[in-house]
Amino acid sequence: MEQANKPAAFRINAPRVVYQTIDDETIIIDFDNGTYYSAEGAGAEIWEGIARRLSLDQIVRAVARHFAGTEQEIRSGIGQFVDTLQRESLILPLDEASDESRTVLENGMAEGIPSPVFLSPRLRKYTDMQDLLLLDPIHEVDNQGWPIAKNESAG
């Protein structure tokens, strides 16, 4: 996807997609197809920025504060990662960033500690539990999410 055509911000494709970040890794589950994903390092930080509906420029600046690399390397890596998230239907474009996006992540590194080198984030995809995840009724919820089950008799 070319930068000129890329939306300024994205949102998570909820309630279809749920996620949990633990330490430096984000686990993402797509309950429509039973696939789950893992994003570590910069990928987890990018996902957090998307969850907060930061603009892509804000995400680039936040990642650049935490990782050593040129802006071009970081912007390119983030663009490729976001393209992958879109292809997997994990995120959807926003018309514009939300008001919450005015606050950029500020987890600064301690003084004297060098920043880790930026490596293009990679989304790891797992399909080994699809059958189990698709059988689990947790994904059969209404718009309020778990634990509110869909009302099959309504409508």
Sign of the torsion formed by the C-alpha atoms of 52, 86, 95 and 8: positive
pLDDT of 119 reads 85
In whole angstroms, give the CA distance from residue 83 to residue 139: 25
R_g over Cα of the chain: 17
pLDDT of 131 reads 77
pLDDT values of the chain reduced to their tens digit, one per residue, 155 residues: 445 567 789 999 999 999 999 988 999 999 999 999 999 999 999 999 999 999 999 999 999 999 999 999 999 999 999 999 999 999 999 876 454 444 444 444 334 455 787 888 999 998 888 777 777 555 555 565 555 555 554 44
Nearest 5°: the CA angle 46, 51, 54 is 70
How is residue 4 annotated by DSSP? G
The domain ranges of the chain are: 3-106+114-131
The pTM is what?
Answer: 0.74
pLDDT of 105 reads 44
